[in-house]
Amino acid sequence: MKKILVTTSIILSAIILVSCGGKGTYFEQFSENKTITNRILDLNKKIDQIRVEEQGNLIKEDRNYLEYVYEVGESDSYIISYHFDEKGCFEVGIDGYFVEETNAKNVVDGIISEINASKFGSLKEDNFLCRWKNSDESVSVELDYSKTKRGEFIATIFANE
């Protein structure tokens, strides 16, 4: 009887471990489809090219605007929005909405580390806002993490003229 109980406990533990594992951190899930540095490369792409490449759930579409939602974890999500003009995409917005502060902070910390590692530009940080500009200042990235205590953050990638 004791062997059956031990064997059953091991099997149940293995099932729970397998079913709960494998998703990775929130930043890993956030980056699974496309990393933040790859989203910078979406600037100047035409709307039809973004439609083909984007893997999220399209939730809003206009002549010069696309908006996609991605699920993360059990009940969290983030939204990717694209703004277009005649030259192509000039702005990529990323809005994160998470239940727990720790998950939002995990994504924010991951974004900061990824952009810093990419040598995109030097970080300027002030009042819960991180800013980067590339060397010729044609592209800038802003990360507003002032609301991470509420599980929210906003990142915006701009093509500067």
How many helices (H) and strands (E) would you count in the chain?
Answer: 5, 8
Q: In what order do the strands lie in the sheet with 139-144?
A: 57-62, 65-72, 76-85, 88-97, 152-159, 139-144, 129-133, 124-126
**Whether the predicted pLDDT of 66 surpasses 90:** yes
Amino acid making up residue 2: K
Q: What is the mean pLDDT of residues 48-61?
A: 95
Q: What is the pTM of this model?
A: 0.83
What is the Cα–Cα distance from 37 to 94, expressed in whole angstroms?
13
pLDDT at 3 (0 to 100): 54
Please report, for the chain, the start and end positions of each structural domain, with discontinuous segments joined by +: 24-159
